[in-house]
Amino acid sequence: MAFAITIQSDSSPIEAVFAHLNQFEADKSKLFDEIGQGLVSSIDERFLDGRDVDGNPWKMSWRAIVQGGQTLRDTGRLMNSYTHNVLSNGVEVGTNVEYAAYLHYGATIMPKTGQYITFAVAGQYRKVKQVVLPPRTQLGLNAEDEEMVLDIVGSFIDDYILRGA
């Protein structure tokens, strides 16, 4: 060959990025775990502030009014039960407390037998025909949660792929 052009490149930086991408499957659980921790923290803040997903105050419960406590915080069982599970393709956030859905979506509780529901609050017994629980959402994503998730993903991409962490 009388005349030729040879182009060579140092492909090691590109190969390093591909090596990290190949490792992504093993490391993405760290990303999902961080997102899950952030979402559970957001739920904790809702309980502490007594606000729903959209930032509106929860309607105060009768128990909280009578005892001077906070709504959905009598024992702390529900608030402390929220957790997250890392899945192969994402993260789930929730609770195993059986009454959580009733408090989240609201419910009307009717007597199982007889005409009245009888219960004690602050040492006094009450007799009512039904109890209406207003919705007090805890789970869900609001704009702040979405921004947090995007920040976590952005940082992960920046650290993991661009910087080769």
Which residue do the tokens 């037998």 mark? 113
More confident residue, 93 or 123: 93
Measured at the CA of 80, the angle between CA 26 and CA 43, to 5 degrees, comes to: 70
Of 38, 17, 30, nearest to 164 by C-alpha is 17
CB contact set of 69 (below 8 Å; sequence gap of 6+):
63
pLDDT at 1 > cutoff 50: no
Measured between alpha carbons, how far apart are the two ends of the chain, in Å?
45
Q: Per-residue confidence at 3, pLDDT binned at 50, 70, 90?
A: low
Is 26 within 8 Å of 81 (Cβ atoms)? no
Which residue do the tokens 């502030």 mark? 49
CA dihedral angle for residue 16, residue 21, residue 143, residue 40, rounded to 10 degrees: -110
Residue 155 DSSP class = H
Q: What per-residue confidence (pLDDT) applies to 45? A: 95
Strongest mean pLDDT among 8-12, 33-37, 74-78: 33-37
| Segment 42-95, tens digit of pLDDT | 999 999 999 999 999 999 988 888 888 888 888 889 999 999 999 888 899 999
